[in-house]
């Protein structure tokens, strides 16, 4: 069997260029300091106390010298065995950020220029039995990029223009939600492998076709051979722990690739969350020489088909994902890197952010093109949870270079990425880039094909996807449409007239696009998250510190312009955060409800954005500290499989039932008109039904028939009941919250311990308690089943609380807010 030496852990680092280093650090930084791999230089500097925390206050400004310096990393290690019998010895870096060279025992063994791919170097000739030293030099990314830009010319680029010259996460050069923290480092694991005869390079399971009784699977196993000896190969497939298929092959002398077709009877299919099981198969590939196991790879794969239904209709052309023959309405958000310093992102972070997505009824995330191709673990987790992935290639908001080396670099990257990710059933589409063509066409008036770098998106990437995958569609860009990249009649759409274009969210109602992959509204993070990085005297929206935390031009201005449109503007910091979060949640709810009612004229709503890479005021639903905003709790409801929507259309009220379940629903609809003080002015109950995977208009009557008279006090509440239990509810307020007459609602609550870990918070009120916000001020973050909800007159709301603290302790730190 092969041997591995793990080179992660402690390394050393120092600067290896002269300029830009702060004087007080020179003495230290010219000497070796302790480093940690996987890591990036900012993290090493931070750990050694050489830079302040870039996330605290405006410290980001103090660390801007770091990306203008060359750095060298080294590690000494011992090989304590004779490796002359091994046929190959490889030093592998799974990720190097971004440009530089690698030396082993003083001799240069290779160079690198792309953080998205892994690099393997043959080192048998240079490695010593005994002591060794590996050294990696990183060139200052900012200067390498600028030199290339000087050589090849400035392109049409949003934000830092030199960024497009490096195959490096584009957000690290600064974004409209992200700091400028342009990293360098060995950001993924590094190891040496000692190999005999051969190794398994890649394993792929491709669903060729599925019928009711069997699935046709094609597998391709790529072997790297170091000698021309025959080797034995064994393929085993397991389903729920049981072996269902086994096959042995002999890989003769020159055979490098084993292609093999086989059948799985009564296949368990992989479905997105909410549509069926997330079935996965396990495969084991082993290679033997003379009976001895020399390499072994385990892979999971799923069996499913995916197709984009693009059919002409009276409004243009549909854009519907179909998985295993079932049309899917996609409900989701955009995923951006979970940290400015990527090696800090752990499995726990992925678990938390992805499990929260499932809990909030998301079935799709879009891995946005200005970040990274995520870690394998991210996609494994999405496979398990049934979260479909819209996967961008890593290009964003720009034209890209076309010189030969760049194109070669991109092509090589695309092949590596597709080969790494193609077994994941969760990935349902490859997409060329984020917004490149849209920006080009809007700013130049020229055609998309005239854009510098266009060949990457209309030739190279589609052909790589076709040759190395072919099991899911390739889409040129997000957004992309036939006659215009941001078309509303076909293809997919980004809606930024609202918010960024200064229009208010009520305008979402006029957007009839076919699939919306971006739209968003900002809010501040949880007050605890801000307090951790902002000094008490700066906790004020007038402070430069707060302005620093909003990276959009006129971001803070928009927060207030859109707040005052709907909510009372107050001066208290925490009260403003609460109202801004509500405003964001209400905006996205309004948009999603409008688009879900159009099911399948509109077939997907993917809001901007799920998460944050640092503590920032942004469009996210969950802040950097993984604390949910109001939008998170709203998403749970507006993305729920059965949704009740009440709309006011001129002077009429309409009730829609959206059903994403595959079975039909017959239910009771209860509708009430109430006043904020608690009187019931109108009540009615009737039966309604909706087909599986469909939408139905259940009621359409004049508002006057529902006895709605004074919009400042009267509002409509409705719920759906099946066998006595409520499956959906919603309400419609006919004026802005700032104009509602909200008297003291007479709110009462009780906290009851259910078991060691869970409690129930029971809330009742005599009048309307609008937008109730529960916050436990002290201690750890406490999981709540709901927050920012309304308590309707005479109703009882029960919230689950997860905590092992005592009732008394919790009550001491419990604060409840509602709108007044
Ligand atoms: C779109 C995205 C991002 C950006 C977001 C918010 O343009 O693709 O580039 O962060 O909107 O402005």
List the chain domain ranges: 3-194, 200-301, 314-639, 743-820
Task: Say how many Å lie between the CA of residue 517 and the centre of ligand 1.
Answer: 11
**How many other C-beta atoms lie within 10 A of the C-beta of residue 435?**
26
| Candidate of 395, 397, 613, 621 to mutate for ligand 1, largest count of ligand atoms within 8 Å of Cβ | 397
Lookup: tokens for 720: 């759906």
**Topology (CATH level 3) of domain 314-639:** TIM Barrel (3.20.20)
Task: Say how many Å lie between the CA of residue 303 and the centre of ligand 1.
Answer: 34
Average pLDDT of the residues in 574-582: 98
SS3 742: coil
Task: Say how many Å lie between the CA of residue 430 and the centre of ligand 1.
Answer: 19
Task: Say how many Å lie between the CA of residue 496 and the centre of ligand 1.
Answer: 9
Average pLDDT of the residues in 488-498: 98
Was domain 743-820 assigned CATH 2.60.130.10?
no
The whole-angstrom separation of Cα 99 and Cα 406 is 13
pLDDT digits (tens, 9 = 90+) for 772-794: 999 998 767 899 999 999 999 99
**Active-site residue, 518 included:** yes
DSSP secondary structure letters along 331-357:
EEEEE--S-SSGGG--HHHHHHHHHHH
Task: Say how many Å lie between the CA of residue 457 and the centre of ligand 1.
Answer: 19
pLDDT at residue number 232? 97
* Least confident segment among 249-258, 549-558, 579-588: 249-258
Task: Note the helical H segments in 469-614.
Answer: 527-531, 544-548, 555-566, 573-597
Atom of ligand 1 nearest to the CA of 176: 10
**Which residues lie below 8 Å from residue 628, measured CB to CB, with a gap of 6+?**
356, 526, 621, 622, 787
Atom of ligand 1 nearest to the CA of 500: 12
The whole-angstrom separation of Cα 293 and Cα 634 is 53
Cis amide leading into 38 (omega within 30): yes
Residue nearest to atom 6 of ligand 1 (CA): 176
pLDDT at 663 exceeding the cut of 90 = yes
Residue nearest to atom 8 of ligand 1 (CA): 434
Average pLDDT, the chain: 97
| Candidate of 176, 368, 432 to mutate for ligand 1, largest count of ligand atoms within 8 Å of Cβ | 176
Percentage with pLDDT > 70 across the chain? 100
Q: Which of 435, 488, 586, 593 is catalytic?
A: 435
| Best CA proximity match to 179, nearest among 65, 260, 61 | 61
Say if CB 441 and CB 484 are below 8 A apart: yes
SS3 652: strand
Atom of ligand 1 nearest to the CA of 478: 8
Say if CB 360 and CB 398 are below 8 A apart: no
Confidence of residue 756 (pLDDT cuts 50, 70, 90): confident
Confidence of residue 528 (pLDDT cuts 50, 70, 90): very high
What are the backbone dihedrals phi and psi of residue 25, each rounded to the nearest 5 degrees, phi first? -100, -10
Residues across the chain: 820
In what helix (H) or strand (E) does residue 463 lie, and over which residues does it extend? helix 461-468
Question: Which protein residues are within 6 Å of ligand 1, measured from CB?
Answer: 175-177, 370, 396-397, 434-435, 500, 518, 608
Atom of ligand 1 nearest to the CA of 434: 8
**Active-site residue, 435 included:** yes
Atom of ligand 1 nearest to the CA of 435: 8
Residue nearest to atom 12 of ligand 1 (CA): 176
pLDDT at residue number 779? 66
pLDDT at 212 exceeding the cut of 90 = no
Task: Say how many Å lie between the CA of residue 518 and the centre of ligand 1.
Answer: 8
**Same fold across 200-301 and 743-820:** yes
pLDDT at 113 exceeding the cut of 90 = yes
pLDDT at residue number 230? 96
The whole-angstrom separation of Cα 331 and Cα 273 is 11
SS3 762: strand
| Candidate of 439, 492, 495, 496 to mutate for ligand 1, largest count of ligand atoms within 8 Å of Cβ | 496
- Taking the domain 3-194, which CATH number applies? 2.60.120.260
| Best CA proximity match to 551, nearest among 173, 28, 260 | 173
Q: Is the pTM of this model over 0.75?
A: yes
**Topology (CATH level 3) of domain 200-301:** Immunoglobulin-like (2.60.40)
| Chain centroid offset of residue 244 CA | 35
Say if CB 534 and CB 513 are below 8 A apart: no
CB environment 313-322: b (16+ within 10 A), e (fewer): eeebbbbbbe
Q: What angle do the packed helices 376-385 and 347-359 form, to 10 degrees?
A: 30
SS3 223: strand
pLDDT at residue number 117? 98
Say if CB 342 and CB 187 are below 8 A apart: yes
pLDDT at residue number 778? 78
Task: Say how many Å lie between the CA of residue 450 and the centre of ligand 1.
Answer: 23
pLDDT at 419 exceeding the cut of 70 = yes
pLDDT at 707 exceeding the cut of 70 = yes
| Best CA proximity match to 653, nearest among 613, 682, 676 | 682
| Best CA proximity match to 715, nearest among 644, 767, 764, 667 | 767
The whole-angstrom separation of Cα 512 and Cα 506 is 13
pLDDT at 618 exceeding the cut of 70 = yes
Q: Which of 57, 193, 374, 518 is catalytic?
A: 518
């Amino acid at each position: 069997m092969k041997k591995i030496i793990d080179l992660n852990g402690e390394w050393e680092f120092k600067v290896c260029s002269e300029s830009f280093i702060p004087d007080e650090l020179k003495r230290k930084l010219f000497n070796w300091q302790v480093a940690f791999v996987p890591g990036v230089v900012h993290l090493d500097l931070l750990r050694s106390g050489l830079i302040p925390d870039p996330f605290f206050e405006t410290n980001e400004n103090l660390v801007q010298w770091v990306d203008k310096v060359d750095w060298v990393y080294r590690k000494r290690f011992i090989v304590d065995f004779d490796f002359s019998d091994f046929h190959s010895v490889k030093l592998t870096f799974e990720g190097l950020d971004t440009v530089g060279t690698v030396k082993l025992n003083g001799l240069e063994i290779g160079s690198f220029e792309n953080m998205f791919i892994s690099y393997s170097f043959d080192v048998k000739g240079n490695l010593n039995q005994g002591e060794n030293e590996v050294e990696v030099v990183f060139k200052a990314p900012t200067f390498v990029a600028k030199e290339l830009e000087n050589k090849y010319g400035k392109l049409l680029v949003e934000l830092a223009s030199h960024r497009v010259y490096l195959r490096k996460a584009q957000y690290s050069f600064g974004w409209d939600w992200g700091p400028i923290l342009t990293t360098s480092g060995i950001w993924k694991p590094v190891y040496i492998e000692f190999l005999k005869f051969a190794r398994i390079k890649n394993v792929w399971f491709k669903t060729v076709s599925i019928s009711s009784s069997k699935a046709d699977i094609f597998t391709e196993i790529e072997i790297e051979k170091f000698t021309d000896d025959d080797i034995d190969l064994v393929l085993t497939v397991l389903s729920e722990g049981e072996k269902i298929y086994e096959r042995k092959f002999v890989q003769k002398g020159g055979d490098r690739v084993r292609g093999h077709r086989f059948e799985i009877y009564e296949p368990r299919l992989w479905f997105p969350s909410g549509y069926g099981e997330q079935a996965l198969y396990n495969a084991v590939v082993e290679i033997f020489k003379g009976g001895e196991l020399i390499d072994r790879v385990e892979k999971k794969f799923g069996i499913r088909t995916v197709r984009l239904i693009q059919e002409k209709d009276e409004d243009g052309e549909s854009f519907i994902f179909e998985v295993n023959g079932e049309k899917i309405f996609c409900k989701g958000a955009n995923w951006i890197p979970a940290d400015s310093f990527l090696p800090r992102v752990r499995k726990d972070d992925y678990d938390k952010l992805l499990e929260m997505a499932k809990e909030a009824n998301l079935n799709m995330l879009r891995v946005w093109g200005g970040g990274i191709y995520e870690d394998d673990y991210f996609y494994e987790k999405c496979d398990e949870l049934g979260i479909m992935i819209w996967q961008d290639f890593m290009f964003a908001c720009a034209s890209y270079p076309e010189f030969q080396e760049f194109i070669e670099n991109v092509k090589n990257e695309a092949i590596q990425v597709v080969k790494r990710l193609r077994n994941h059933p969760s990935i349902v589409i490859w997409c060329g880039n984020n917004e490149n063509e849209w920006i080009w066409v809007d700013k130049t008036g020229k055609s998309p094909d005239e854009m510098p770098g266009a060949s990457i998106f209309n030739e190279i990437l589609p052909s790589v996807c076709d040759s190395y995958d072919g099991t899911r569609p390739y889409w040129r860009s997000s957004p992309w449409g036939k006659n215009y990249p941001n078309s509303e009649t076909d293809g997919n759409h980004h809606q930024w007239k609202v918010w960024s274009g200064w229009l208010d969210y009520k305008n979402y109602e006029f957007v009839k696009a076919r699939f919306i992959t971006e739209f968003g509204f900002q809010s501040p993070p949880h007050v605890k998250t801000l307090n951790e990085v902002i000094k008490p005297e700066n906790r004020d929206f007038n402070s430069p510190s707060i302005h620093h935390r909003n990276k959009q031009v006129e971001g803070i201005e928009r927060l207030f312009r859109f707040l005052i449109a709907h909510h009372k503007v107050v001066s208290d910091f925490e009260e403003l955060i609460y109202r801004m979060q509500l405003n964001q949640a209400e905006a996205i709810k309004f948009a999603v409800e409008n688009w879900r009612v159009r099911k399948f004229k509109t077939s997907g709503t993917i809001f901007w954005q799920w998460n944050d890479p640092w503590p920032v005021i942004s469009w996210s639903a969950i802040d950097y500290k993984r604390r949910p905003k109001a939008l998170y709790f709203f998403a749970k409801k507006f993305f729920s499989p059965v949704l009740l929507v009440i709309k006011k259309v001129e002077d009429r009220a309409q009730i829609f039932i959206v059903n994403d379940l595959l079975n039909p629903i017959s239910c009771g609809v209860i509708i009430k008109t109430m006043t904020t003080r608690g009187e019931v002015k109108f009540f009615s109950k009737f039966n309604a039904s909706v087909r599986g995977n469909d939408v139905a208009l259940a009621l359409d009557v004049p508002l006057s028939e529902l006895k709605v008279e004074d919009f400042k006090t009267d509002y409509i509440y409705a719920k759906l009941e099946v066998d006595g239990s409520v499956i959906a509810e919603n309400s419609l307020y006919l004026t802005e919250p700032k104009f509602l007459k909200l008297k003291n609602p007479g709110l009462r609550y009780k906290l009851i311990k259910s078991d060691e870990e869970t409690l129930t918070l029971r809330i009742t009120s005599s009048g309307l308690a609008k937008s109730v916000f529960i916050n436990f001020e002290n201690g750890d973050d406490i999981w709540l089943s709901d927050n920012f909800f309304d308590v309707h007159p005479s109703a009882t709301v029960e919230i689950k609380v997860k905590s092992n603290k005592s009732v008394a302790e919790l009550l001491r730190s419990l604060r409840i807010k509602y709108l007044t």
